[in-house]
Amino acid sequence: MAKKSLSLNDLLMDKLPSTLASKGFAWRQELLLYGLAVVIGLLTALAAVGFNGLIEWVDALCYGSDSTPGIYGERYFLLFILPAAGALLVGLIAHFYSREAVGHGVPEVMDAIVRRDCKIKIHVALARIITAALTIGSGGSAGPEGPIIQIGAAIASSSGRFFRVVRYHLPVLIACGAAAGVAAIFHAPIAGVLFAMEVFLRDINFKTLSPVLIASVISRVVVTTLLGADQAIFPLGDLAIYTFHWLELGNYIVLGFICAAVAVAFIRLLTYAEEWFEKRNIPEVFKPMLGGLALGVVGLATVIAIRGAVRGEPIIFGKGYSFVGLCIGTAHAERFADFQITIGILVVLLIAKILATCLTLGSGASGGVFAPSLFMGAATGYAFGLLVQRFGFFPDVSPSAYSVVGMASVVAATTHAPMAAIVMLFEITHNYRIILPVMFSCTVALLIARLFCAQSVATLRLQHRGVQFGVHARTAMLRRFTVRDIMEDGAVIVRGDRPIQEIIIQTADEDAADFVVLDKNGRYTGLLCEKDLRNTLLHPEAIPLIVGDELARPDVPVVSPDDTLDAVLEIFSRLDVNSLPVSDGAKPPNYIGMVTRAALMRRYMSELQNGG
């Protein structure tokens, strides 16, 4: 059959309208992303302010504040009752309202990106605010950052679905919510952006970065407007005049090794605690309460170990920010007036904090791991600084400097987000003098931690659920494109009862490689591949006896024009085929084209060469 030749004018007139329409659609989607980034930043900031206020209210109710005595009142038996009561309420909310409102927060968001098409219901955000506030305020050893990340992600997911954002842009919106949450809680907009890119997207380019930047900035501006001056969470005291000397590099290498050991121990123990509680034959609603009772034991042991030198709730309860401030030289509260920091006490507090966090989160309560990691790092770094002083090689060294470096190093080794950890320590202290040892020690800590535990505290949990987020993240670039962008129009359809001999002749006539095979009722039965046809030619005596159905591959799925290319790549990785049929999804379906392995790889390489 002679093929009709097309002039340049025909080609232009055929392609130009669809090209302009495609570009117009892309621009509308990008503008919508920017607009939603503003909305997400605003709503997440408001949620963060309310969330933080609720935590402080529950904490003041349980353990008192400067103006109110609280329920605790130094009555040690309440160290068991208060955390257990808060955890029981968390268990009830999770059981009757939202099972997604417990855990770290970050693994749940990553799981939603991979397995649930970025779907996080808005009621999860509301439940998270309450469960995390109850957990942390009643004494649970956890931080607010994991929950606020999930809250921001839920706001982002709901906003994206309400405005019908295309599916491959939803992970960017999720990253906007995460960045806005970190920016609001830690007053760290740059670290929020870096954390979102390192953990959730792992695909840094202008198209993905710009909405995340906008959301983070808006969130920080709103929080500053509502709460007042833009002050550091941990303003440094003596470290304001600290000067780093190159002779200390060896010390920071050793500190990096120690922080890596602390991070790996924490990740492993937390995972073990989660599995231990999962295997217990106890109603789910009561497991957090059991963890709260065990936390009370650890809290009471801590009070006894430091001989009651600290007033109020045990140091290891809650976020632990006051202890972190004490270690890094921030003006500390009156409750630490009689507290003497020694290496032995710091080691006890470090072990107790790890156990407390594992019991809190492992039992199914709600909270993040950032704040506990900061506590662990502060204790580790300060203890190491005192040890360096004691050896006499650096008698004038500041233990507080090592405490700051330890905080960043443990966070980096725990989350596998070194850039976010480095910048966060600068943003929460507003001090640049310590940045060089922070960068150096974070790198060492992460390198060593990855040797012994290749997964972060979030991805290890996902791996145990059978979710490989790293594989998903490495193909993140392809999520921005759909089958429609690379498909070849037209699919050659044959009946399954048609003789193979006729199909081979049709291959030459229509220059077709693969055929969509349908039965007599028009139902898809498989793909007839060129390779299988070639193999048939090796046995010419059998050709007259074979029909299309006998060679068709029923395991080859049909894809839609809106499927993202990362999903198509996953299909090609499983199947030894060179193309996939594309259907418009109508009933009965119309087979409108083919997407080939070669076209997919060309697009992938093109994006790599153009910088994504």
Q: Does 111 have pLDDT greater than 60? A: yes
Q: What is the average pLDDT across 491-511?
A: 74
Q: Is 490 helix (H, G, I), strand (E, B) or coil?
A: coil
The torsion angle over the Cα atoms of residues 74, 76, 80 and 83, rounded to 10 degrees, is 10
Q: CB of 175 within 8 A of CB of 200?
A: yes
pLDDT of residue 242: 60
More confident residue, 551 or 484: 484
What pLDDT is recorded for position 164? Answer: 82
* Those residues with Cβ within 8 angstroms of residue 458's Cβ, 6 or more apart along the chain or in another chain: 104, 106, 107, 110, 199, 415, 469
Per CATH, domain 479-609 is 3.10.580.10:
yes
Residue 6 carries which DSSP code?
-
Q: What architecture is the 23-233 domain classified under in CATH?
A: Orthogonal Bundle (1.10)
Domain range annotation of the chain: 23-233, 238-466, 479-609
Amino acid 467: pLDDT: 65
Highest mean pLDDT among 25-29, 68-72, 502-506: 68-72
Question: Nearest CA to 431 among 423, 440, 439?
Answer: 423
Question: Six-digit token pair at 474?
Answer: 């490495």
Predicted pLDDT at 36: 92
Q: Stretch 136-144: mean pLDDT, rounded?
A: 90
Q: Hey, what's the torsion of the CAs at 564, 565, 571, 573, to 10 degrees?
A: -150
Q: What is the pLDDT of residues 55-67, one digit of tens each?
A: 999 998 988 876 7
Q: Please give the helix or strand (H or E) that residue 592 lies within, else none.
A: strand 591-596
> What pLDDT score was predicted for residue 333?
56
> For residue 492, what are its two tokens?
């050659």
pLDDT for res 219: 93
- What pLDDT does residue 73 have? 79
pLDDT at residue 18 greater than cutoff 60: no
If one compares 19 and 361, the residue with the highest pLDDT of the two is 361
Residues 6 or more apart whose Cβ sits within 8 Å of residue 188: 182, 423, 424, 427, 428
- What is the percent of the chain where pLDDT is above 90? 28
493 band by pLDDT with thresholds 50, 70 and 90:
confident
- The answer to whether residues 48 and 185 touch, using CB atoms and an 8 Å cutoff, is yes
Question: Residue 7 has what pLDDT?
Answer: 47
Listed range (377-391, 404-418, 582-596) with the worst mean pLDDT? 582-596
Residue 340 φ then ψ, to 5°: -110, 120
Give pLDDT tens digits for 241-267.
566 677 788 889 999 999 999 999 999
Q: What is the mean pLDDT of residues 78-86?
A: 90
Domain at 238-466, CATH class: mainly alpha
**CA 422: distance to chain centroid?**
18
Q: What percent of the chain has pLDDT over 70?
A: 86
Please tell me the pTM assigned to this model: 0.78
Residue 462 has a pLDDT of 76
Residue given tokens 């995972």 in the structure block: 271
Provide the edge-to-edge strand list for the sheet that holds 591-596: 488-489, 591-596, 579-583
pLDDT at residue 441 greater than cutoff 60: yes
Q: Which band of pLDDT confidence, cut at 50, 70 and 90, is reported for residue 471? A: low
pLDDT at 38: 94
Take residue 343 and report the two structure tokens written for it. 């290496």
Supply the mean pLDDT for the chain: 82
Do the first three CATH levels of 23-233 and 238-466 match, i.e. the same topology? yes
Residue 3 has pLDDT above 60, yes or no: no
For the chain, give the number of residues: 612
Closest by alpha carbon to 373, among 118, 575, 195?
195
Lookup result for tokens 């955890």: 87
